[in-house]
Every structure is written in structure tokens, then in C-alpha cells.
């Protein structure tokens, strides 16, 4: 059973090395989870790493507060198509689907954080999307989503480079995708998730190069 009220104090920094967590069974056979933040046991705000074993499926359901996910391994499928490793997807509030994975997959997923108005479905293959030069030569990035409320990017930090990231009004999230990422002097392996509070200063660096998903919350959620 997943913990209730997990990491819900947004005034505190949180770092979860997910590779050290046990997988926890979900209500659906063949689907397991590692909880990162959670408001209630099976509803409300949640951030998780979810594993679909080969052939596993989830029953038809509605995301009343929207769903955002990044495919980390394998292929995730639903009525909208097959989403391979590197796919970034946003399903607006009210979206229904019946997900499955024929060969198995692992996804990073966030639930119930979207506003009911203004959201549209977004499907981005980050393997094909264009990389943009950062403010300095130490990194490149892909812009995945941006509004007045949040900014989502995929960042590629070049070897032997370092940047300073300032959390905004609401805070900052990072998920390490590839390579070790040094954050405020400590090295973290892929699949490590971090959340920093308002106005935190986060120094990131990489010796051999690293890729990470990054979300800036730009305003308080309603």
C-alpha cells in the first residue's frame, strides 16, 4: 500500500533516490509504483515512477486533474498511440484512456496538477525535438511546455560544466534521466527525483555529462 500524505510539505526540499525504493503493487496486476509525493492513497495530487510489466494494462479511467508523464524505458500505449522512450505527454483534465504496455515500460508521471481551463493534449518525441542553446555554452535544452504557471524542460548538461538554477515563486523539480548529476555538491544517479522550495538556489554540475527533466512552478496552484 502506498503512503498517504507523502512529501506534501512544499516548504521543504525533498530528494528521493528512487533506485533504492521498493516497488509497490498497484490495484492493477502487473503495474507497480514508487511514490515520490502523494496527497491521498489512490486520488489527488501524486508524483510517481510507474512500471508496467510486459502485457500489463490499467483499467479505463478519467484524469479529473490531468496527467503529465515522461516515458523513461520501453513503450507506453493507449488509445492515442504508442509512446516510446523519450516521449513527453500531457493529457488535460477530463481525459479518459485505458493504458497498457505490450513489452513493458517505466514512466515518470504527475497527476492532478493541471487547471481545468486552457490545457490541450501535448505529445512530444524528445528524441526528434530540437535542442536549443542555453544561456551559456554549458548546456542545451528542449522546451516541453510553458505557460504563466509552469515551465517544463529537458536539459542536457555537457561534460565538465556547471550552472546555477534559481527556483521560482512556487519551486523547482528535477528528475535525473541520464548520467550522474551533481546537485549542490552531491552526485545523484539516474531516476533521482528532487523538489526544491521557493527561492532555493540549486547548483548543478556534471563530470561526464547528464540529462535531466526540469519543472519550474511559476505561480501558486489554485
Give pLDDT tens digits for 21-54.
Answer: 999 999 899 999 999 999 876 667 899 999 999 9
**Do 78 and 154 fall within a single domain?**
no
Q: Which of 57, 66, 102, 59 is nearest to 84 (CA)?
A: 102
**Nine-digit cell string for 152:** 517544463
Comparing 47-51, 111-115, 185-189, the range with the smallest average pLDDT is 111-115
The domain boundary, picked from 104, 125, 146, lies at 125
Q: Is residue 47 part of a domain?
A: yes
* 61-112 per-position pLDDT tens digit: 888 889 999 999 999 999 999 999 999 999 999 889 999 999 999 999 999 8
Instruction: Give the whole-angstrom CA distance, residue 18 versus residue 54.
Output: 21
- Whether residue 70 sits in one domain with residue 116: yes
| Confidence (pLDDT) at 195 | 96
Domain membership flag for residue 204: yes
Residues 124-143 have pLDDT tens digits of 999 999 999 998 889 999 99
In a domain, 222, yes or no: no
Q: How confident is residue 166, by pLDDT bands cut at 50, 70 and 90?
A: confident
Q: Find out whether 177 and 211 touch, Cβ atoms under 8 Å.
A: yes
Residue 160 lies in a domain: yes
For residue 54, is it within any domain?
A: yes
DSSP E strand stretches across 18-86: 24-25, 31-38, 46-52, 56-57, 61-63, 67-78, 81-84
Residue 5 domain flag: no
Q: Name the pLDDT band for 123 (thresholds 50, 70, 90).
A: very high
Q: What percent of the chain has pLDDT over 90?
A: 74
| pLDDT reading at 117 higher than 90 | no
Task: Report which of 173, 200, 166 is spatially closest to residue 113, judged by C-alpha positions.
Answer: 173
pLDDT of residue 222: 42
Q: Which three cell numbers stand for residue 18?
A: 528512487
Q: What is the pLDDT of residue 115?
A: 81
- Looking at every residue in the chain, the average pLDDT score rounds to 92
pLDDT of residue 40: 73
Provide the number of structural domains found in the chain: 2
Among candidate residues 92, 125, 158, the one where a domain is terminated: 125
Residues 119, 137, single domain; the answer is no
Residue (of 37, 62, 66, 63) closest to 49 by Cα position: 37
Q: Is residue 167 part of a domain?
A: yes
- Lowest average pLDDT, out of 13-22, 60-69, 181-190, goes to 60-69
Phi, psi of 86 (to 5 degrees): 100, -5
Mean pLDDT of 195-203: 93
Q: Are residues 154 and 170 in the same domain?
A: yes
Point out which residues pair with 35 in neighbouring strands.
48
Range of the domain at 90: 14-125
CATH of residue 94: 2.60.120.10
Q: Write down which residue in 125, 147, 173 finishes a domain.
A: 125
Burial per residue of 73-91, b for 16 or more beta-carbon CB atoms within 10 angstroms, e otherwise: bbbbbbeeeebebbbbbbb
pLDDT at 105: 98
Percent of the chain, pLDDT > 70? 95
In-domain check, residue 1: no
Indicate left, alpha or beta for 191 from its phi (over 0: left) and psi (-120 to 50: alpha): left
Do residue 90 and residue 138 come from a single domain?
Answer: no
Q: How many CA atoms lie within 13 A of 179 on its CB side?
A: 19
Please state which of the ranges 18-27, 113-122, 151-160 shows the lowest mean pLDDT: 113-122
Amino acid at each position: 500500500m502506498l503512503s498517504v500524505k507523502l512529501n506534501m510539505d512544499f516548504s521543504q526540499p525533498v530528494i528521493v533516490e528512487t533506485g533504492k525504493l521498493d516497488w509497490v503493487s498497484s490495484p492493477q496486476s502487473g503495474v507497480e509504483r514508487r511514490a515520490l509525493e502523494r496527497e491521498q492513497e489512490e486520488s489527488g495530487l501524486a508524483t510517481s515512477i510507474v512500471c508496467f510489466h510486459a502485457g500489463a494494462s490499467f483499467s479505463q479511467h478519467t484524469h479529473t486533474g490531468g496527467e503529465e508523464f515522461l516515458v523513461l524505458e520501453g513503450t507506453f500505449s493507449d488509445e492515442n498511440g504508442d509512446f516510446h522512450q523519450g516521449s513527453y505527454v500531457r493529457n488535460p483534465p477530463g481525459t479518459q484512456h485505458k493504458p497498457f504496455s505490450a513489452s513493458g515500460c517505466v514512466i515518470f508521471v504527475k497527476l492532478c496538477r493541471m487547471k481545468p481551463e486552457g490545457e490541450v493534449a501535448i505529445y512530444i518525441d524528445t528524441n526528434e525535438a530540437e535542442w536549443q542553446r542555453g544561456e551559456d555554452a554549458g548546456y542545451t535544452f528542449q522546451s516541453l511546455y510553458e505557460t504563466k504557471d509552469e515551465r517544463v524542460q529537458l536539459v542536457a548538461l555537457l561534460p565538465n560544466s556547471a550552472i546555477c538554477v534559481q527556483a521560482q515563486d512556487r519551486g523547482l523539480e528535477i528528475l535525473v534521466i541520464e548520467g550522474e548529476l551533481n546537485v549542490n555538491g552531491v552526485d545523484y544517479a539516474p531516476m533521482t527525483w528532487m523538489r526544491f522550495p521557493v527561492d532555493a538556489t540549486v547548483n548543478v554540475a556534471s563530470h561526464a555529462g547528464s540529462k535531466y527533466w526540469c519543472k519550474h512552478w511559476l505561480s501558486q496552484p489554485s
